[in-house]
Amino acid sequence: VTSSRPRATLATIAATAGVSVATASKVLNGRSDVSPTTRARVQGVLKEHDYIGRAPKSDGKATVELILAGMSTYAMEVIQGVLDEAGGADVDIVVRSHPMAGRPIRSGRPTPWIRELSASGRRAVIGVNIRLSGADLAALARAKLALVLIDPIDIPQLDVTSVGSTNFAGGLAAARHLLSLGHRRIAYLGGPATASCSQARTQGFRGAMEAAGLPILDGYVQLRDFFYEDGLVGGAALLDLPEPPTAVFAGCDQLALGVIEAARARGLRVPEDLSVVGFDDTELARLASPPLTTVRQPLREMGAVALRTALRLASGEKVDSHHVELATTLVVRASAVAATRLSAVAAL
């Protein structure tokens, strides 16, 4: 774990392995005319020194790696933002998806893909909805790779740069909107309590209800995951309550769509019989029927900001704040309307 020795050259590799440069070169290139023992020895040294060959032509385009916890309409917007910014900044973006990257961390060793990364000559890396262990962070630092996290699962840490959005304010705005529409029986269907963005939204909701002096009824807060299926079962649970809500605030658009479908399956119409507000404002919200009223996270802008920040970090600049939050805004479409007299009265 030497912090910063100069890039290893074939000559030093050869010397360390006690062979000629010619032989080392043959091993490197997988030629067949090398004895197995020699080959093994040289390969050992090669690996040990993290040999990566001659420095790449510097005038080649910089490339930054974009790591997704999985593909989704959410990820799609972020990618779009990063790509747009990359076009202007003249950098290449290599995308990879690691479905495991959002899961809890076990070991103390860096995740395999971090090792690969250090050898690949990237300028920086951007992680979306990802969680990194201390070992990962250390490996990245050792490889001198700038890192920016978008909407990190864990609460923003001092030693990682991250960009998010104002989730608390967003939760507040969603609940207030429903309140201002005259709803009183408002339920919340949220994502996992372990994700920091999710916690903030939940507290925003609670805050608004409290400020309005309204109680949160029994069973009116459901915390699951962020998927459509969770919306389906969470929505069902809410609608099957003895005293069902007249409005549901869902912690993301997929959850909201699940609620809408759960309502439809019960013969309930949205927004006539049930108002629904989502969160994110991905493509899904615009294309839903009815079009979804939702809290917009500026995902494209978040992608663009992440890339700009990563590039700045990579060129050695200090960054003002290790965490920035872009503003969320309420986008009013058609899935939430004024509470009917009936339901408003029923709530008294």
Partner DNA sequence: CTGAAAGCGCTTACAG
Residues at the interface with DNA (CB under 7 A) = 9-11, 19-23, 25-26, 28-29, 32-39, 53-54, 57
Identify which of 160, 159, 211, 209 has the alpha carbon closest to the alpha carbon of residue 185. Answer: 209
Q: Which one of DNA, its own copies, none is in contact with 19 (Cβ closer than 5 to 8 A by kind)?
A: DNA
- Between 61 and 286, whose beta carbon lies closer to DNA? 61
C-alpha angle 96/101/103, rounded to 5°? 160
Rounded distance, CA 31 to CA 192, Å?
A: 53
Tokens of residue 37, six digits: 């023992």
Tokens of residue 227, six digits: 């998927």
Q: Which one of its own copies, DNA, none is in contact with 71 (Cβ closer than 5 to 8 A by kind)?
A: its own copies
SS3 158: coil
Tokens of residue 282, six digits: 């991905």
Contact call for residue 28 and its own copies (CB under 8 A): yes
SS3 63: strand
- Between 121 and 219, whose beta carbon lies closer to DNA? 121
The only residue of 6, 36, 60, 215 in contact with its own copies, by rule CB under 8 A: 60
Rounded distance, CA 317 to CA 314, Å?
A: 7
Q: Which one of DNA, its own copies, none is in contact with 290 (Cβ closer than 5 to 8 A by kind)?
A: its own copies
How many helices (H) and strands (E) in the chain? 13, 12
Rounded distance, CA 245 to CA 27, Å?
A: 70
Please compute, for residue 183, the number of CA atoms within 13 A of its CA located in the half-sphere on the CB side: 30
Output the smallest distance, CB 6 to DNA, in A. Answer: 8
Strands 329-331 and 293-296: antiparallel
- 8 A C-beta contact, residue 314 and residue 162: no
- The pattern of x and - marking residues 67 through 96 that bind its own copies according to CB under 8 A reads ----xxx-xxx-xx--xx-xx----xxxxx
Contact call for residue 288 and its own copies (CB under 8 A): yes
Output the smallest distance, CB 184 to its own copies, in A. Answer: 25
The only residue of 100, 286, 327, 346 in contact with its own copies, by rule CB under 8 A: 286
- Between 71 and 211, whose beta carbon lies closer to its own copies? 71
- Between 10 and 223, whose beta carbon lies closer to DNA? 10
The residues binding its own copies (CB under 8 A) are: 28-29, 53-54, 56-57, 59-61, 63, 71-73, 75-77, 79-80, 83-84, 86-87, 92-97, 120-121, 228, 254, 257, 260-261, 264, 270, 283-284, 286-291
